[in-house]
Amino acid sequence: MSFCIAIDGPAASGKGTISRAVAARFGFEHLDTGLLYRAVGQLVLQGTEPLEAARALVAEDLRSDGLRTPEVAQAASRVAVIPEVRAVLLDFQRAFATRVGGAVLDGRDIGTVICPDAPVKLFVTASAEIRAERRFKELLAGGHDVTQEGVLDDVRARDARDAGRSDAPMVVATDAIVIDTSGMAIEDAVSAAVAAVDAARA
Ligand code: DC
């Protein structure tokens, strides 16, 4: 039987960590759908046209180096505005969501567009300042030349673009449970997510 857990939220909210922990806890497969858009964004930065890049995407591209850079994140957010690009990536995500044995998908539109009937929907968020601080520390640790103000500007620009687009904007699904990780230890956020899944499976 399939069982889809939809986890949405903005950049650096903690949704990736929570998704991986929930998938491991329940033995489900996990898909970070942001990687699909990042891989398309990276190909576009290398000169490929967005729709062509989305159509040509192969599994190998999701393991490509450099997908986590700020430049690729912004390029991902820009290609994600294009309805035709989203349409090309939709089937793969839906197929993954309905795989036997259960799936956790994280992104921006999982609970609203990809899996509107998901039995568990979470929206993981945190203030822009806290998310920028987390992302700044990650990027510094990864050797990137960034400033905290620059990262905050990037976070805000991406939030505005992801929430403001007309096709599949980032929005809290009406039946989603919101987890605000601003003042929360990540273990507590994972526990809240696991409790929501347990409740839905009971
Ligand atoms: O989750 P992430 O930061 O890796 O995502 C990168 C960009 O991809 C994000 O700014 C918007 C886009 N995205 C999207 O539009 N829909 C998704 N389901 C996942 C990501």
Which pLDDT score, from 0 to 100, does residue 163 have?
Answer: 98
Predicted confidence (pLDDT) at residue 13 exceeds the cutoff of 90? yes
Predicted confidence (pLDDT) at residue 111 exceeds the cutoff of 90? yes
Predicted confidence (pLDDT) at residue 61 exceeds the cutoff of 90? yes
- Under a CB-based contact definition with an 8 Å cutoff, are residues 12 and 135 in contact? yes
Distance CA 74, CA 9 (A): 16
pLDDT digits 0-9 by tens, 122-165: 999 999 999 999 999 999 999 999 999 999 999 999 999 999 99
Q: Which CATH number fits domain 4-201: 3.40.50.300, 3.10.580.10, 3.40.50.720, 3.40.640.10?
A: 3.40.50.300
Q: How sure is the predictor about 1, in pLDDT bands with cuts at 50, 70 and 90?
A: confident
Residue nearest to atom 4 of ligand 1 (CA): 34
Average pLDDT over the chain, rounded to an integer: 97
Please report the atom of ligand 1 found closest to the CA of residue 158: 10
Distance 130 CA to ligand 1 centre (A): 19
